[in-house]
Structure 1
Amino acid sequence: MKTAQSQQKGYADNRRKELEFGVSNHVSVKVTPMKGDMRFGKKNKLSPRVIGPFEIIEKIGILAYRVTLPLMLAGVQNVFHISMMRKYMSNPSHVLNHEPLQLDPNMSLEERPIQILDMHETRL
């Protein structure tokens, strides 16, 4: 058992990246949504994705950081382990088109496609 643990530890240590972030750095966070949970924009269960960038506001211990989250993620804990964080590489071409939301009086939103990117026809 000790030999197997030693081999696994050596395997993990060789692939581990030494990361450390400072306060006010920007990071992306790897999340895995639960079934029926639309907070991260995916409908599929257990489909991991990276969201962000978020600013680090506090270092908690050696391996945990507190980040600022937008209001739409208010129900999510804002403390993340370093293994869930990725360094955010700023890119000038990373510009998101933001259009104001048109909400119905009952506070619902109808999703409509903005642009069709690809189309093909299948004949049977």
Structure 2
Amino acid sequence: MVREKLKAAQDRQKSYADNRSKDLEFAVRDWVFLKLSPWKDVMRFGKRGKCIGHVVYRLTLPPELSQIHDVFHVSMLRKYVPNPSHVLEQQPMELREDLMYKEQPV
């Protein structure tokens, strides 16, 4: 009886996961969000990737992430859809006579 209930629960979970899963595939020069979890919080970076398999991709990472291996499973990637609101305009910077400036959030 317990085994049957456990099996039924596992089947429901598998069915739910199968229905919700998507086959993701990226092309060279696609931008992706990368989910990095070794740190305290989840960090995301938009990077260009290169396909090296159906479920594994090599990404071009920024220099500050050079200590991280550059190959990631597809489950750690999300497709980036370009949006003009993601581009920040450069604000003019005013320098004081002592060459100091004040940073303000945008």
TM-score, with structure 2 as normaliser: 0.69
- Matched with 1:51 is 45
**Aligned equivalents of 2:86, 2:71: Cα separation in 1:** 25
The CA RMSD over aligned residues, in Å, is 2.3
Deviations 1:58-107 (A, max 9, x none): x2322110010011110011111111111111123323578xxxxxxxxx
Q: Which has the higher helix share?
A: 2
- Matched with 2:103 is 114
- Matched with 1:94 is 86
Task: Give the 5 Å matches for 1:23-34.
Answer: 23-34=28-39
Question: Compared with structure 1, are the counterparts of its residues 116 and 88 closer, same or farther at alpha carbon in structure 2 (3 Å cutoff)?
Answer: closer
Q: What one-letter code is carried by the residue in structure 1 that aligns with 2:17?
A: A
Q: Unaligned regions of 5+ residues in structure 2, if any?
A: 1-5, 91-101
- Matched with 1:69 is 61
Secondary structure of the structure 2 residue equivalent to 1:66: strand
Q: Unaligned regions of 5+ residues in structure 1, if any?
A: 35-44, 99-112, 118-124
Superposition misfits of 4+ residues, deviation over 6 angstroms:
none
**Aligned equivalents of 2:27, 2:53: Cα separation in 1:** 13
Deviations 1:25-81 (A, max 9, x none): 1111112243xxxxxxxxxx2x223222x1112x23221100100111100111111
**Aligned equivalents of 1:22, 1:91: Cα separation in 2:** 19
